[in-house]
Amino acid sequence: MTNYRFVFPLLAGALVLSAPGCGSGPRVVSAKGTVTYQGAPLAGATVTLSPKGEKAGPVISGITDAEGHFSLKTHASATSTGDGAMPGEYRVAISKFVPPKGMTEEEYQAKAAAAENAVYTGKETVPAKVELLPAKYSDLAKTELTATIPDGGNTDIKFDLK
Is there a single domain that holds both residue 69 and residue 137? Answer: yes
If 0-12 CB within 10 Å is exposed, 13-18 middle and 19+ buried, where does residue 116 land? exposed
* Domain ranges, residue 149: 24-96+132-162
User: Do 89 and 105 share a structural domain?
Assistant: no
Same domain, 92 and 137: yes
Cα separation, 81 vs 74, whole angstroms: 6
Same domain, 77 and 139: yes
- Indicate the pLDDT class of residue 12, thresholds 50, 70 and 90: very low
Here the CATH number for the domain that contains residue 139 is 2.60.40.10
Is 61 domain-assigned?
Answer: yes
The 10s digit of each residue's pLDDT in 88-105 is 999 999 999 999 988 999
Task: Please tell me whether residues 66 and 144 are part of one structural domain.
Answer: yes
Q: Do residue 55 and residue 122 come from a single domain?
A: no
- The per-residue pLDDT for 151 is 94
pLDDT tens for residues 110-149? 888 887 776 665 566 788 899 999 999 999 999 999 999 9
Range name among 5-9, 21-25, 64-68, 83-87 with the lowest pLDDT average: 5-9
